[in-house]
């Protein structure tokens, strides 16, 4: 059985397809050339993880080149010794930019806004506007994200 999810980003299409071997396959018109030799940014993710999807959609929407490193939580990929060296808490997402690893989706998003060439509306340079973005980012994990995830458990 194949299940598809269609997400619209700007004027691009982003498709996530569930395939029969219980693994996720991401297909997108936004795919950037993925050559490990050309990309220093790596994203370790599980597509079932909302924070992983947030980081991936941000990277794709802003056309930031990155290499995908799927960590399948269901199969325990995050328990490996290798992944534990990247994140001792063994959670996704994780990025490695060159030789700099970073965990936690909000920290990753802030870092990407500061280090990559993205438009100012994502994370404004003005400190008061930035504080309003920070206010939401700090709050969303315990309200928006929690309530949205439990919605599906109750249906």
Catalytic machinery residues: 49
Contact 11, 18 (CB under 8 A): no
Distance CA 35, CA 39 (A): 6
- Assigned token pair, 120: 């100012």
Distance CA 112, CA 101 (A): 12
Distance CA 69, CA 92 (A): 11
Q: What is the largest CA-CA distance in the chain?
A: 49
Residues 6+ apart with CB under 8 A from 89: 103
């Amino acid at each position: 059985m194949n299940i598809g999810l269609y997400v619209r980003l700007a004027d691009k299409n982003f498709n996530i397809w569930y395939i029969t071997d219980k693994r996720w396959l991401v297909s997108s018109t936004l795919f950037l050339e993925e050559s490990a030799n050309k990309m220093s940014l790596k994203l370790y993710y599980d597509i079932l993880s909302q924070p992983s999807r947030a980081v991936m959609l941000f990277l794709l929407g802003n056309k930031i080149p990155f290499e995908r490193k799927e960590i399948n939580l269901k199969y325990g990929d995050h328990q490996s010794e290798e992944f534990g060296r990247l994140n001792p808490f063994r959670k996704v997402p994780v990025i490695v930019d060159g030789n700099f690893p970073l965990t936690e989706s909000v920290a990753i998003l802030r870092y990407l806004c500061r280090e990559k060439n993205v438009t100012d509306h994502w994370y404004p340079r003005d400190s008061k506007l930035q504080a309003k973005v920070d206010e939401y980012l700090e709050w969303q994990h315990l309200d928006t994200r929690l309530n949205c995830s439990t919605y599906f458990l109750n249906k």
